[in-house]
Structure 1
């Protein structure tokens, strides 16, 4: 079974849109792999480096509200997929982005603001990491010698999509 989690990248802003996730000028690329070097290229945050080790090593993104807003392009989850991102955790997601994540077999986890704030308390830890158990609907964040576990909700269908590896694998197994 696919492992969900790993080093965390904290993007402390609401309304991160799909053009910041993968700029529109790259939507003509032929394969998902061709998108890989352009992850978060246009995202402007103090101290953020889209080519830095924190970005390149990240397997989980933690952010604020309305993540993935803007255009409904599938390329946004695809660039995460080819870069090894297995989960995005935020207060809320744009509806189509969220469903595209599940369709690609990645976890889009919504948590209330107080739980997101708790996760952001780990953002200063160089070793901040999140493990996600989609089956049990729990996640554990660790860093700086501390650890916290939280539960989350996901619909049975979306959970089945993620556990199957995405929509295509789910359909292959069902039909």
Structure 2
């Protein structure tokens, strides 16, 4: 996963409330087994309408999405986070998120920023023609007009985002400790490690059960 420390650029000034995962990525896109290309299906229903926000050249490739309450509600599909990431979104700012979506977002390198509605309203106004900056080092959202909004994020999730760690990365970071444990366990309990075959599975010629 690519580390995320600072997200800067234009922001989709959307503000819609109760956006569920079916709006983010319709169900018929869930047949795919790859994350690549899901950005084409992101907000498909909305993008079918002429003049929609997501195809407006003023916000083409925007890395920030400004939304309303309860963003990412509905099903637990991780495809929603995959689609946003493939669309180029690296931070979503909203008053609240679905818990499952928030977790999926972090696992896919997307920063879920929670700010009060007053801050959302201000950012939507600024984003009409100015960039927005989300900074995980200072835990702030700022604008060229000296707006400065402080947000909170679970320290573990913040670390994962800043260091680019998903579950696999977290496990690999403990590779030395895991290897040392396995070596020590094998020396202390050699009967757990068969000479051939898999642990716990009897092999031909092996009297152990």
Whether TM exceeds 0.5 here: the answer is yes
Within-5 A mapping of 1:135-146: 135-142=137-144, 146=145
Q: CA deviation at 1:64?
A: 0.8
Contact 1:41 1:50 in 2 (8 A): no
Structure (1 or 2) with the greater strand fraction:
1
Within-5 A mapping of 1:44-123: 47-54=51-58, 56-123=60-127
Larger radius of gyration: 2
Task: Tell me, in whole angstroms, the C-alpha distance in 2 between the residues paired with 1:66 and 1:38.
Answer: 21
- Compute the TM-score of the two structures, normalised by the length of structure 1: 0.86
Contact 1:56 1:83 in 2 (8 A): no
CA deviation string 1:68-122 (max 9, x = no partner): 0111100011111112211000000011001111111220000111111221221
Task: Tell me, in whole angstroms, the C-alpha distance in 1 between the residues paired with 2:54 and 2:118.
Answer: 27
Q: CA deviation at 1:46?
A: 9.4
Gaps of 5+ in 1: none
* Number of equivalences: 170
CA deviation string 1:33-53 (max 9, x = no partner): 131211111238995244333
Taking only aligned residues, the RMSD between alpha carbons, in angstroms, comes to 2.1
Partner secondary structure for residue 33 of structure 1: coil
Alignment CA distance shift 1:43-1:166 (3 Å): farther
Q: CA deviation at 1:139?
A: 1.6
Task: Tell me, in whole angstroms, the C-alpha distance in 2 between the residues paired with 1:71 and 1:173.
Answer: 31
